[in-house]
Structures are given as structure tokens and as C-alpha cells.
Amino acid sequence: MIFEFNEQQKMLQKMVREFAEQEIAPGVMERDEKEEFSRELLDKAGDLGLTGICFPEAYGGSDGDYISYIIASEEIARVDDCVATGFSASVSLCAFPIYNYGTEAQKQKYLMPLATGQKLGQPIWFYLFVFPLAVQLSFNTVLAGGKSKNVGFMISLVYH
């Protein structure tokens, strides 16, 4: 199967690549070394319509398709995977379920600020599963003397 982007998708790819190289690339190593996340960069992505790229204009989106979302994600990830992960989590893991399964009231209240980039979404399961798992795996690595041998792990979902 031969697959090619249409002209609109090619223009989007060029625009996002330029945005990533001009706005995201500067400071990528510094942010990485300091373990910082730049909300400002996602605000700029929102200003370009990227945070609502695959949602209808009626909900604050850019009326693009899912292929366009993938193109944007890929171009951002070429430069900074941290920004790409924040972007992807907000769009596909948080906003997309609201769009697909939410009521009209929920779409108006929650999807519109996500699609316009006013809000950054993070799915709750990220905190309930990934964070405790990462903490426990890190703890087990310390117990193993810094060696990455399997000493077993337990996932705790208890928060204080």
C-alpha cells in the first residue's frame, strides 16, 4: 500500500517541524537536565491550534483528522519527547475520550479548554498507575544496589 500525505497534511508537517525547531529545540537539553516541563511550549502549541487538531471547530478544535494529530506528535517528538508526551497525553488520553464518550455538557465544559490549549489534560490513570509503579521500580533498583536486576515490585494505589 502506498500512503502519502495530502497537501494540507504536508503543510501541517512543515509548520509543526518549523515550530518544533524554532520554539521547542532551544533549551531542550537544559529542560531535560533540570527535569523541567515547559507548559509555555504547550501554550504555544495551543495557539497554533495543535492541541485541538483532531477535534471539530465547534469544540474549539482545528477540524483536522487523526493523521494530522499523529503528524504533529511525530514532529514535536523529533525535537523533545517530553513536550510530545505532554501534548499526546492531553490530546489522545484526556481530550479524545471526552470527545468520543462525553455528554454535550462535558464537551462544552472540559473539551473546549483542552482543545484550545487553555487547559492541559492528564488522565487520572497516569497518576494512579504510572507514578506508583515508577516510584516502586526506582525503590527496588536502589535495594538492588543500583543494578537493574528484578527484585520484584508491588503497585500501591494508596495515597495520603
Residue-level pLDDT at 108:
92
| Band of pLDDT at residue 146, cut at 50, 70 and 90 | very low
Q: Tell whether 91 is covered by a domain.
A: yes
Looking at the fold, whether 105 and 127 belong to one and the same domain comes out as no
Does residue 1 belong to any structural domain of this protein?
Answer: no
Residues 104 and 32 in one domain: yes
* Domain that residue 127 falls in: 123-160
Report the SS3 class of residue 82.
Answer: helix
pLDDT score of 137 more than 50: no
The model carries a pTM of 0.73
Tens-digit pLDDT profile for residues 32-75? 888 888 888 888 998 999 999 999 999 999 999 999 999 999 99
Residue bearing cell 524554532: 22
Residue 60 lies in a domain: yes
Distance of CA 64 to CAs 5, 85, 102, 111, Å?
Answer: 13, 20, 20, 15
